[in-house]
A = this chain, B = another copy of it.
């Protein structure tokens, strides 16, 4: 690269820092030691417990100036009493997605040869399972637009509001059409417009309208519930999927599971205007149950670096990471490796 880029690195909680270290190793191996400056931020559970800070405004301001953000994972274990439920997810992860207008949450799924899938051989044999979910990242039920009255009483009422705008839907749908156009030319909208009529009509309308500009892309619609079935009986049918924030959250975990597990699923949170830094992270969480043991699979974190390089205009380096990951996965077979071993193996292929 001609100029050194600055990356903010937020290892986060649990296995986050472990897998992130391997991601940076791969990045340095493929791009050289001078391509990136890494600026580490100790955000996450530990900092909150020490200082009560989740994401200070000053840090948010600093983060605005970097070229991209590398995130490991944040969040306490679901049942943890030490950290209020969702505090880090909302105060840090979602805060960044919203503050930096990460409208396009990109989640590719690919079943690599040799990777064990929970699906039966008859479902996947001889087929190429290789699709991308383009998840809206700044609207829907993730806005934090809800409330509750008479909390703690038998008369409690709690609401959550899904907010959808033509602006928000249009930009993610357009992005998805573009990706479909440069892939196999098929785009599927997932929603539940037979029940969620208001949001569903908006998504349908924009999907159809924008689709007119992409006559070479075949478009189809599936209800989110029907998509659950499609994803396990014939995942090879998908090319690009576009959907809202919550449906995207749900379907991408299923997509990850059927393509070999959450340990392999990479993601990008892209700010389409380029005004703010985009953020790259594995789909998996902080997995407190296996943290500190050095056994977390860093493959997803490493693959996320391919998405980062692509975003920063280095598709040829991105392709090299993808190739190294795919070769290494094939090579690993059923053998289990430690976090650093996998990182070293992939870095060695890239060096």
Q: Which residues of A contact B (CB under 8 A)?
A: 75, 78-79, 85-86, 89-90, 94, 116-121, 123, 141-142, 144, 146-148, 150-167, 170, 192-202, 204-205, 221-226, 228-229, 232-233, 246, 249-254, 256-258, 261-262
Contact = CB atoms under 8 A, between A and B. Distances in A.
B163 A118 contact: no
Contact of A228 (B163, B198, B221, B254): B254
Contact of A86 (B164, B197, B228, B246): B197
Contact of A170 (B142, B154, B253): B154
A164 B157 contact: yes
A229 B262 contact: yes
A117 to B, nearest CB: 7
A324 B78 CA distance: 42
Rank and list the top 3 A-B pairs by shortest CB-CB distance, nearest first.
A86-B194, A228-B254, A225-B253
Chain copies in complex: 2
A59 to B, nearest CB: 21
A18 to B, nearest CB: 20
A261 B195 CA distance: 23
Contacts of A199: 146, 158-160
A142 B257 contact: no
A78 B221 contact: yes
Given A160-B161, A250-B250, 6 more contacts: A94-B195, A142-B195, A156-B202, A158-B198, A158-B202, A195-B246
A253 B254 CA distance: 13
Contact of A78 (B152, B164, B223, B262): B223
Nearest to A247: B250
Contacts of A170: 154
A193 B160 contact: no
A197 B146 contact: yes
Contacts of A196: 141, 146, 160
Given A156-B166, A160-B161, A226 B202 contact: no
A121 B122 CA distance: 11
B250 A200 contact: no
A165 B256 CA distance: 33
24 contacts: A78-B222, A78-B223, A90-B195, A116-B120, A118-B232, A118-B233, A141-B195, A142-B195, A146-B162, A146-B197, A146-B199, A148-B202, A153-B166, A156-B205, A157-B164, A160-B162, A160-B199, A161-B161, A228-B251, A229-B261, A232-B254, A233-B257, A250-B250, A254-B254
A132 to B, nearest CB: 18
Contacts of A89: 194-195
B148 A162 contact: no
A162 B147 contact: no
Contacts of A147: 198
Contact of A152 (B146, B154, B205, B221): B205
